[in-house]
Structure 1
Amino acid sequence: MSLRPAREGDGKGTINPWLIAPLVALAAFMEVLDISIANVSLQHIAGDLSAGQDESTWILTSYLVTNAVILPVSGWLSSVMGRTRFFVACIIGFSISSLACGLAPTLGLLIVFRAIQGLTGGGLQPTAQAILADSFPPRQRGMAFALYGMAVVFAPAIGPTLGGWITDQFSWRWVFLLNVPIGVVLTMLVTALLQDPPAYTAARLERRRQGAKVDYIGFSLLAVGLGFLQIVLDKGEQEAWFASSFIFWLSVFSLLSLISFVLWELGQKHPIVELRLLFERNFGVANLLMFLLGFILLGSTVLLPELVQRLFGYTATEAGLVITPGGVSIILVMPIVGRLVSVVDSRYLIALGLVICSFALFHMADFSLETDYRTFVWARIYQAFGLSLLFIPINTAAYRFIPATMSSEASALINVARNLGGSFGISLVTTYLSRFGQVHQTTLVAHATPFDAPYRDMMNGLALSFVAQGATAAEASAKALGSIYAIVQKQALLLAFLDDFQMLGIVFLAVLPFVFIMKGGLPGHGPGPAAH
């Protein structure tokens, strides 16, 4: 991207792209952070606004739904409005809606403002990534993506911890109000420093000259398809999935809408989402890998805190501190990976990252009820190191053969892949956690019979200890039975968590062969689009 003051020919030199990179990365960080930062505040919000816990979850769902709808069309909106103008509009809209969320007097209004926040903020991630892709030549793009990666990967890790601390120390309202001063500063700096590159501006003006029309049918199909899909993923487990007619019909309409959307867009001269980019081999495989990165990153980020809270009695803040060191390690490792992608074939880095992540998840599958805090933290750091080897090389490989004029559309698609992967990951790991827990409990209960010697020994031992504490024989027997049932439940839940970790590890290994479908080489070498 051309990083010049607002008017060309004014005598001012080109601005160093490293002045712009932290700004756009901070904008993306602010938006991604808001996906997870409010999670731990739901009970406080529900209590303060006199709402039920189930009702308060729509605060999260409304944001995710509108965010999912706007993400894929952000490239098209950039090409119509101009990338810088669209980026600034997103920052302003996100800041204003954040202010409205922080001041909302009722839950209904808060849900509406959160939907607007997701709608206006959804364009920040892909636009920030497109700006970085155009700001740096291919050989330096790895470092730019390192900065972006630190923002979008660290944000989900720090979100629950930061949100809990702000809520405990101040109020849940400051979770949203914190965005306002940051948004004001970003708006002023981005407006002063950023300008669309000449080639991008020329392509936009040519498109407008040709009279490109708004694809209302495509947008409607996309909004229904992704919006309903996000609700299904967010509410499916709570509503017992397809046992609920609500979830069943939303799934049907979502599937039909998305199939119709793909067929419609492939037949359009000026599609609202450039799906044809997925036919480029590197970009198509990179989207699959980014989907899985989101799947594992957010899936495991949900599992580990829940594990230590439900089985080890950690508080929300303590659970957040299990995740945070992994986020810090990502910040430390990503700049190194950013340099490595210019001298090492991205495919080898991706393969190494997949193997490390897989082994880290298999290590988590060996946790026991005696595992301590230090072990949890190091396991997460181990996994975070693998994740650091994935994000930058995947993005570098994805953009290698994409024309500069299509970077916004490409960024929109790859960010959709990561976000959808995260939604699928969270939904599936929580569903399988429940299902695996039921299976293991059934298996364990089958051994809790008077015909099982270990069960008899434990029952007798517990009963004698309760008698020694003053209980009658009948009371002691009832208490012993209750204690054994609690142990069975705890063991079944632990085994379910371990199965989930193992499943995620297997998924990472299973996609390893896909990495080498991509074309190899180093950025800036061999055939491919010229530097942006």
Structure 2
Amino acid sequence: MTSNTVPGNSPGSSINPWLVAVTVALTTFMEVLDISIANVSLRHIAGDLAAGQDESTWILTSYLVANAIILPMSGWISNLMGRRRFYLICVALFTVSSLLCGLAPNLFALIFFRTLQGIGGGGLQPSSQAILSDTFPPHQRGMAFAVYGITTVMAPAIGPTVGGWITDTFTWRWIFLINVPIGIISFYLTRLWVYDPPHFTERRKALLASTFKIDGLGFVLMALGFGCLQIVLDKGEQEDWFGSHFIVLLTVISVVSLIILPFWELRHKNPMMDFTLLKERNFFISNILIFMLGFVLFSSTLLLPLFVQILMGYSATDAGLLLSPGGVAVLLFMPLIGYLINKTDVRKLIMVGLILNIFSLWMFSLLTMQTDYTTMAMLRIVQGIGLGFLFVPINTAAFADIPLVKSSSASAMINLSRNLGGSFGIALVQTWLSEGSQRHLNYLVGHLDPYRTLYQDQVKQLELLIHHYGLMPFDLNQTANAIVYNFTYQQAQLLAFMDNFKLLGILFLIMIPAVIFLKKRDHSKQ
């Protein structure tokens, strides 16, 4: 086997594997970008379609729910109909639904088309990773995952910036329409360069020739379990979590379904989710690590823009630009990380990634409202490099001992873990931020005593300052007290942000023992 062709005797065996890598990376970038690109445009969409702000959030939820349902079963569907065919269907569905989203006449139509888009997108990530795993021999897989990692780590970072720029410059419809030419190019290149390897084709033929039974109950359990879970995570904060009967009902359905699911799947001959993969130690630990990576990646990508917008007055575009240096760092360092995979123990690389992230998150927890843009951008660069040192080694460790015939199922599970981590991270950080602000506010207000001389002196100084600048409100004392309260609330929010950044760092610190239990990779056998 030469190193510059696709392994095996498939129709694509003479194709340079890097052409395949670029093809699937392009599609994955488009899909991952679409998860976050619409966030900053919701207000514009709601206004244009005459919808309420709460109603418009279903534009995001519908996509995420459909994505969460289809993603875990994508490996099973690939094995049934062929990975190349399934991938082409997903690209076509994503592209056509993107066009329909851009042309949607009302909110209901947009939500429906976003659901279709989520179904198409849900199969793209795991299929892309499985294609790379089969296309590249083990000694080149680290570099291939580095190319894939650029798309999955960089896209969430630049999504809000790109979405805001497109919406401000053109119209919100172009955040969907921009996918159409990219999707057409991807579809053409996939037909040209991507093929199923011989071992996959043989296994599929054997599967179809056997007494194959569709895992109907597994499908229902996954749809209910992951679908309801995604709605709970996406709507929990808005609906006051378990104070809402709607959230409680969906939580019960999700928990019951997900408890039954593994017991049923382990008994089924052709399960939709292959839980036996978790018996492999590296794959099990890698799923835990990639879940936490998704948790921190998406939650920190949410926290930093919120911090600078709420407390420092940044515009949405400027806040998005603050994330961009981290994305550039990922782009520059991923090839180096891919090279180091075959030279260094992956456990050491993961440790480097964890340490860089712990350091940057701890420094983020020390931010003040006077911190300058350059300092925050540099910390984001350090974090971006750290995320790169996590993504590629974790995925390489996960697939190291997985048989090629199970790469589709393994890819579906590892991508599900990362996406669930992201959903949990965003949901919990929003809640921690809200509750933390209120907790700190209660504490700080409890120490504001209007009868203390220090407090009265501060209020009088504010009254003089207001009067000095020619402002003559109806009640100087009331205005001065309002300023004190607003400043106190601002400090409470600052403390809540500090707590959240610190907690994310602690979560990564807890992951260090898990890395130690990963099996050492023997490079001499690659």
Q: Which amino acid aligns with 2:168?
A: D
Q: Which moved more, 1:181-190 or 1:459-468?
A: 459-468
Aligned-partner Cα distance in 1 for 2:10–2:410: 28
| Shift in CA distance, 374/454, structure 1 to aligned 2, threshold 3 Å | farther
Deviation at 1:473, TM superposition (A): 9.9
Aligned-partner Cα distance in 1 for 2:57–2:112: 13
Q: Which amino acid aligns with 1:393?
A: P
Superposed CA RMSD in Å reads 1.7
Contact (CA 8 Å) 1:291, 1:420: kept in 2 or not? yes
Deviation digits for residues 478-520 of structure 1 (CA, Å, limit 9, x no counterpart) = 1110100110111100110010000000000011100111101
Q: Which residue in the other structure is 1:399 paired with?
A: 399
Q: Which residue in the other structure is 2:408 paired with?
A: 408
Aligned-partner Cα distance in 1 for 2:457–2:59: 50
Q: Which amino acid aligns with 1:58?
A: W
Contact (CA 8 Å) 2:9, 2:197: kept in 1 or not? no
Deviation at 1:211, TM superposition (A): 2.8
Deviation at 1:269, TM superposition (A): 1.6
| Shift in CA distance, 175/5, structure 1 to aligned 2, threshold 3 Å | farther
Contact (CA 8 Å) 1:447, 1:455: kept in 2 or not? no
Q: Which residue in the other structure is 1:55 paired with?
A: 55
Q: Which amino acid aligns with 1:518?
A: L
Deviation at 1:467, TM superposition (A): 3.6
| Shift in CA distance, 253/480, structure 1 to aligned 2, threshold 3 Å | same
Q: Which amino acid aligns with 1:392?
A: V
Q: Which amino acid aligns with 2:50?
A: S
Mapping 1:335-484, distance limit 5 Å: 335-469=335-469, 475-484=475-484
Contact (CA 8 Å) 1:353, 1:388: kept in 2 or not? yes
| Shift in CA distance, 25/469, structure 1 to aligned 2, threshold 3 Å | closer
Q: Which amino acid aligns with 2:395?
A: N
Deviation at 1:378, TM superposition (A): 1.0
Q: Which amino acid aligns with 1:40?
A: V
Deviation at 1:115, TM superposition (A): 0.5
Deviation at 1:379, TM superposition (A): 1.3
Aligned-partner Cα distance in 2 for 1:502–1:477: 38
Normalising to structure 1: TM-score of the pair?
Answer: 0.96
Unaligned runs of 5+ in 1: none
Residues 1:236 and 2:236 aligned together:
yes
Q: Determine helix, strand or coil for the equivalent of 2:370.
A: coil
Deviation at 1:4, TM superposition (A): 9.0
| Shift in CA distance, 97/444, structure 1 to aligned 2, threshold 3 Å | same
Contact (CA 8 Å) 1:346, 1:522: kept in 2 or not? no
Aligned-partner Cα distance in 1 for 2:490–2:88: 50
Moved over 6 A (4+): 4-7, 471-474
Deviation at 1:466, TM superposition (A): 2.5
Contact (CA 8 Å) 2:8, 2:197: kept in 1 or not? no
Q: Determine helix, strand or coil for the equivalent of 1:229.
A: helix
Q: Determine helix, strand or coil for the equivalent of 2:366.
A: coil
Contact (CA 8 Å) 1:146, 1:334: kept in 2 or not? yes
Contact (CA 8 Å) 1:6, 1:194: kept in 2 or not? no
Contact (CA 8 Å) 2:9, 2:198: kept in 1 or not? no
| Shift in CA distance, 385/241, structure 1 to aligned 2, threshold 3 Å | same
Deviation at 1:265, TM superposition (A): 0.6
Contact (CA 8 Å) 1:232, 1:247: kept in 2 or not? yes
| Shift in CA distance, 472/381, structure 1 to aligned 2, threshold 3 Å | closer
Q: Which residue in the other structure is 2:491 paired with?
A: 491
Deviation at 1:427, TM superposition (A): 0.4
Aligned-partner Cα distance in 1 for 2:129–2:305: 29
| Shift in CA distance, 453/210, structure 1 to aligned 2, threshold 3 Å | farther
Contact (CA 8 Å) 1:4, 1:195: kept in 2 or not? no
Residues 1:257 and 2:257 aligned together:
yes
Q: Determine helix, strand or coil for the equivalent of 1:461.
A: helix
| Shift in CA distance, 455/181, structure 1 to aligned 2, threshold 3 Å | same
Q: Which residue in the other structure is 1:39 paired with?
A: 39
Q: Which amino acid aligns with 1:475?
A: D
Q: Which amino acid aligns with 1:409?
A: S
Aligned-partner Cα distance in 2 for 1:211–1:165: 54
Unaligned runs of 5+ in 2: none
Contact (CA 8 Å) 2:437, 2:492: kept in 1 or not? yes
Residues 1:512 and 2:499 aligned together:
no
| Shift in CA distance, 472/400, structure 1 to aligned 2, threshold 3 Å | closer
| Shift in CA distance, 208/476, structure 1 to aligned 2, threshold 3 Å | same
| Shift in CA distance, 13/263, structure 1 to aligned 2, threshold 3 Å | closer
| Shift in CA distance, 362/13, structure 1 to aligned 2, threshold 3 Å | closer
Aligned-partner Cα distance in 2 for 1:201–1:414: 23
Aligned-partner Cα distance in 2 for 1:288–1:81: 30
Residues 1:65 and 2:62 aligned together:
no
| Shift in CA distance, 474/348, structure 1 to aligned 2, threshold 3 Å | same
Deviation at 1:469, TM superposition (A): 4.5
Contact (CA 8 Å) 1:5, 1:194: kept in 2 or not? no
Deviation at 1:521, TM superposition (A): 2.2
Contact (CA 8 Å) 2:7, 2:136: kept in 1 or not? no
Q: Which residue in the other structure is 1:200 paired with?
A: 200
Q: Which residue in the other structure is 2:106 paired with?
A: 106
Aligned-partner Cα distance in 2 for 1:168–1:490: 29
Contact (CA 8 Å) 1:61, 1:234: kept in 2 or not? yes
Contact (CA 8 Å) 2:6, 2:136: kept in 1 or not? no
Deviation digits for residues 54-86 of structure 1 (CA, Å, limit 9, x no counterpart) = 100000000000000011111011100111111
Q: Which residue in the other structure is 2:274 paired with?
A: 274
- Length, aligned pairs only: 523
Aligned-partner Cα distance in 2 for 1:168–1:467: 40
Q: Which amino acid aligns with 1:383?
A: Q
Aligned-partner Cα distance in 2 for 1:457–1:344: 63
Deviation at 1:464, TM superposition (A): 2.1
Aligned-partner Cα distance in 2 for 1:389–1:466: 52
Deviation digits for residues 137-182 of structure 1 (CA, Å, limit 9, x no counterpart) = 1111110000000011111011000011111111111111111111
Deviation at 1:474, TM superposition (A): 7.3
Contact (CA 8 Å) 2:473, 2:479: kept in 1 or not? no
| Shift in CA distance, 448/417, structure 1 to aligned 2, threshold 3 Å | same
Q: Which amino acid aligns with 1:235?
A: K
Contact (CA 8 Å) 2:225, 2:254: kept in 1 or not? yes
Deviation digits for residues 364-403 of structure 1 (CA, Å, limit 9, x no counterpart) = 0000111111111111111111111000000010011100
